[in-house]
Amino acid sequence: MQVKLKSQKWLPYVLLSPSIIIITIFFIYPSFQSLYYSFFRVNMTGTRKIFVGLTNFIRLFKNPDYLNSLMLSLFFAVSVVFIGLLICIYIARIANRRYPGFNIYRIFLIWPYALSPAITGMIWALMFNPTIGIATHILSFFGINFSYISNGVHAMIFIIVAAIWKMMGYNIIFTLAALQGVPNEIIEAATIDGARKGQIFWKVMFPVISLQFFLFIMNTLYAFFQQFGLLHVITEGGPGRSTDLLVYKLYRDGFIAMDTGGASAQSIILLLFVSVIMTIQFRITQKSVFTEHKMNKLNYKTIDKIVSHIVMISVLVIVLFPMLYAIIVSTQTFSEYFSFPPKLSPGTGALSNYSSAWIDGNLGRLLMNSLIMSLAVALGK
């Protein structure tokens, strides 16, 4: 027995070692390296360094471009969080109802979250292409000349909407889980007291799930730093630096302008900001929450059931149509894609498109690289 206990003492370290190794190699070491370089001015080849102290940090906050990027990032983050929050609250309230078929709605809602930001950007760029995009033609029918390529305001609206759509499924499921955690006894007591549905939600349910909503806001803010792929595919910070958010400015300064010291200082500022967010989140999660619940089946009116299904079907159309449109476009030939009006039916180029992607695009090698990266991330977590 003593031998068995001694052998088990090493088991936690063995199980944690893959995560520790990956975190050390891909996070801790690069973080300290960035901190080190943030105090130097480094030439383009990295062969010469001049110690400058805090000059890189001071230079950032005196740079109008960096301050503009900071304000744009703040506007983007606040817009995505609060607009997404309002949309998700409304949809989650409807999805929380116990009607036949609603489980299917909930399954489909999470699909957009499975897409990477780069793929999301590509899909939305196809839909809103100023010349041939299906969404652009729909907007032009209502007299709206939308062009995210030439109009900075349109570009910012575009990436905000795309980011909200990307996170919408996850946020709805997160909110729905919080709503289902509300004890049914509280809702029944409020109903007996004569409270209306809106009052029940905002004055009874919302205070109970306020902790989950705070975590929802923190998670959405944290996801803001993962939108580089979306920006890189759609706008590349343009037009006229109108979408030059912090994550993209860091890439542009570090890998295009080769300003290693300035980019390292930017990465340290972002790291500190994310660390503050995560620290607040961990401290908040230590508070007690409601966990025990039992949802009873509620008897709603027929009209409420019909309206709920209509709303959920409309939401699913918004959620699934971009992915369906991307699949349709992938089957079209060059001439079919550029036809007017845009075709919403499968084309005749499916075999050639997919075979070309597999052979000419080295899709097999890319899939293998993605698999290896996914396994490494899974082990790290």
Q: What is the 3-state secondary structure (H, E, C) of the chain?
A: CHHHHHHHHCHHHHHHHHHHHHHHHHHHHHHHHHHHHCCEEECCCCCCEEECCCHHHHHHHHCHHHHHHHHHHHHHHHHHHHHHHHHHHHHHHHHCCCCCCHHHHHHHHCHHHHCCHHHHHHHHHHHCCCCCCHHHHHHHHCCCCCCCCCCHHHHHHHHHHHHHHHHHHHHHHHHHHHHHCCCHHHHHHHHHCCCCHHHHHHHHHHHHCHHHHHHHHHHHHHHHCCCHHHHHHHCCCCCCCCCCCHHHHHHHHHHHCCCHHHHHHHHHHHHHHHHHHHHHHHHHCCCCCCCCCCCCCCCCCHHHHHHHHHHHHHHHHHHHHHHHHHHHHHCCCHHHHCCCCCCCCCCCCHHHHHHHHHHCCCHHHHHHHHHHHHHHHHHHC
* More confident position, 165 or 3: 165
The residue whose two tokens read 């009116």 is 301
Residue pLDDT, tens place only, 125-157: 888 888 888 888 888 888 888 888 888 899 999
What is the average per-residue pLDDT within 215-244? Answer: 78
What is the average per-residue pLDDT within 170-197? Answer: 80
Q: Are 377 and 18 in contact (CB under 8 A)?
A: no
Torsion of CA 177, 115, 348, 125, to 10 degrees: 110
What is the average per-residue pLDDT within 68-74? Answer: 87
Domains of the chain: 64-348 (1.10.3720.10)
Q: Are 37 and 260 in contact (CB under 8 A)?
A: yes
Distance (Å, rounded) from C-alpha 291 to C-alpha 286?
A: 14
Average pLDDT over all residues of the chain:
79
Q: What angle do CA 48, 52, 57 make, to 5 degrees?
A: 120
Residue pLDDT, tens place only, 278-312: 676 566 555 544 443 333 333 445 666 676 777 77
pLDDT at 6: 55
Neighbours of 167 (CB within 10 A): 24
What is the average per-residue pLDDT within 57-62? Answer: 90
Stated pTM of the model: 0.77
* More confident position, 330 or 311: 330
Residue pLDDT, tens place only, 7-54: 577 888 888 888 888 888 888 888 888 889 899 988 877 778 888 889
Q: Which residues of 193-224 are buried (b: 16+ CB within 10 A; e: fewer)?
A: eeeeeeebbeebbeebbebbbebbbbbbbebb
What is the average per-residue pLDDT within 89-102? Answer: 80
Neighbours of 43 (CB within 10 A): 12
Which residues have CB under 8 Å from 292's CB, separation 6+? 183
Q: Are 116 and 166 in contact (CB under 8 A)?
A: no
Q: How confident is the model at residue 362 (pLDDT cuts 50, 70, 90)?
A: confident
pLDDT at 90: 83
pLDDT at 280: 66
What is the average per-residue pLDDT within 369-380? Answer: 73
Q: Which of 220, 211, 247 is nearest to 80 (CA)?
A: 220
How many CA atoms lie less than 13 Å away from 185 in the CB half-sphere?
Answer: 3
pLDDT at residue 315 tops 60: yes
Q: What angle do CA 101, 217, 291 make, to 5 degrees?
A: 60
- Which range, 59-73, 272-286, 350-364, has the best average confidence (pLDDT)? 59-73
Distance (Å, rounded) from C-alpha 216 to C-alpha 85?
A: 8
